[in-house]
Amino acid sequence: PASTPGFPLPTVHTQQAYDPAADFTSKWTRADAKQIMAQSNPNVAPGQNSMSPNVTMPEIPKDFPAMNDDVWVWDTWSLTDENANQISYKGWDVIFSLVADRHAGYGFDQRHWNARIGYFFRKTNADPAKDKWNYGGHLFLDNTSIGNTEWSGSTRLMQGNKINVFYTATTFYDVAERNAGGGGIAPDAVIAKALGNIHATKDGVTFDGFQHTKLLEPDGKLYQNKAQNPGFAFRDPYTFADPAHPGKTFMVFEGNTGGNRGAYKCKQEDLGYRPGDPHAETVDQVNSTTGAWYQTANVGLAVADNKDLTKWSFLPPILSANCVNDQTERPQIYIQNENGKNKYYLFTISHQFTYADGMRGPDGVYGFVGDGVRSDYQPVNNSGLALGSPTDLNMPANAPEGPDPRQNGRQFQAYSHYVQPGGLVQSFIDNVDGVRGGSLSPTVKMNFKAGVTQVDRSFGKNGLGPFGYLPTNKRVGGEGLY
């Protein structure tokens, strides 16, 4: 293969599968992530989109509708089974979202400190372009979840009307921090679940009877904890079954490499350059001239030890982004048959501002493909970038609360992408050319095969489908069977 002039070649990844419990962690390397810039156009007029249209989310109109007038809505997921099917329950589609009160006196950027899990439902045969999602309110009663703030997770329908809600129980200790948005005492984070009941009637969907169980706290070895780094990430559980290991339930989640902040030093395997590559950096160079070792994201893996899914054990991370990026959030595993073989796609979201020194990429969803849950993952499109918000990558990175006016006004239009069956990608609106969001984006369709992704611009209007389009693909019970 030929490299882009001035850029290194990406790392060679075999996609080979390993046992889920094996001590092998795939690396998203600096050589891989440098392909994002290698594939970006250096000559666009400042503030345009410099990425290929194949990996760029179409522009969201500025006059987007609010999904709900009382709560901001962001990270969202569907009611699913263990195989990522989206379940219609007795004729209702159900989704779960982080929500925060729009009228409580804090701003949109303080939502994280005030997050609760809310839910919405609508008739399975609704017209997604016209019929609104009905807001059902908070999923859990006040002061019943573990922790004082509820962050992202996933929800699975179990036997009968039982559901398991896997979520992040974040606990803030500093009221000032909650109101001001950060900078105070570091929060605790545990991965928890709540087992409860779903009820459907002709009027809608309700939940009750939740029993909360703490499942996992970071061990400080495989997964960094709060004592090691107040800015640690440990969150966003997503559980699934793997046809290659029947009877087991796995969980992926967002973590960081264990150890004290700053103690990690970049290794050859984090850089991933091919021998003799004239554009390779050396380990010494990276460790002496950059602060890249501060960025230590990983995607964690755990396995359930009992059928009730109340006991879990950590396994080594399936992916690390040491010296590349500090956050690989909301990971999901999506298994797709390609030419008679199961291919495992790992999708995870990340930001511009969490990239390491020397690295640059947009806010969006990143993807990796391999032959098993644990494998030598090949980054999609050779770079890892699957779908980003329109961004001029020639300009420096900034953040949604303080964008550079010379940048593309849609660089932060959407975040928290959630990949659904059929390549439908849901996200929430953050900042569209200065208009702050808090509502679900138009769903887009991303075709992917053989490690290549492509936005389907024939879907919806120029590639933008209905707002908040999370359709179901499997029915449990029928309408009227209450």
Active-site amino acid positions? 75, 329
Q: How far is the CB of 408 from ligand FRU (least distance, A)?
A: 20
Q: Is 92 in the site for ligand FRU (CB under 6 A)?
A: no
Q: Is 238 in the site for ligand FRU (CB under 6 A)?
A: no
Residues between 60 and 79 with contacts to ligand FRU, criterion CB under 6 A: 75
Asked whether 365 and 348 are in contact (CB, 8 A), the reply is yes
Please give the Cα distance from 150 to 139 (Å, whole number).
Answer: 10
Please give the Cα distance from 438 to 223 (Å, whole number).
Answer: 31
Based on CB atoms, which residue is closest to ligand FRU, 236 or 242? Answer: 236
Pairing of strands 26-27, 312-322: parallel
Q: Is 351 in the site for ligand FRU (CB under 6 A)?
A: no
Based on CB atoms, which residue is closest to ligand FRU, 152 or 381? Answer: 152
Q: Is 156 in the site for ligand FRU (CB under 6 A)?
A: no
DSSP assignment of 142-184 equals TT-SSSSEEEEEEEEE-STTEEEEEEEEEE---HHHHHHTSSS
Site string for ligand FRU, 255-284 (x = CB under 6 A): ------------------------------
Pairing of strands 435-440, 414-420: unpaired
Based on CB atoms, which residue is closest to ligand FRU, 223 or 459? Answer: 223
The residue within the footprint of ligand FRU, chosen from 115, 271, 324, 369 (CB under 6 A), is 115
355: β partners: 325
Based on CB atoms, which residue is closest to ligand FRU, 59 or 363? Answer: 363
Q: Is 97 in the site for ligand FRU (CB under 6 A)?
A: no
Residues between 401 and 440 with contacts to ligand FRU, criterion CB under 6 A: 415-416
Reading the block at residue 191, the tokens are 């991965």
Which residue's structure tokens are 């019970």?
477
Q: How far is the CB of 43 from ligand FRU (least distance, A)?
A: 32
| Calculated CA dihedral for residues 127, 74, 437, 178, nearest 10 degrees | 150
Q: How far is the CB of 415 from ligand FRU (least distance, A)?
A: 6
Contacts of 32 (CB under 8 A, 6+ apart): 10, 11, 272, 324, 379, 382, 383, 384
Site string for ligand FRU, 306-345 (x = CB under 6 A): -----------------------xx---------------
Based on CB atoms, which residue is closest to ligand FRU, 98 or 157? Answer: 98
DSSP assignment of 205-244 equals EEEEEEEEEEEE---SSSB--TTT-TT---EEEEEEE-TT
Q: What is the contact surface with ligand FRU in residues (CB under 6 A)? A: 75, 98, 112, 115, 151-152, 168, 235-236, 254, 329-330, 415-416
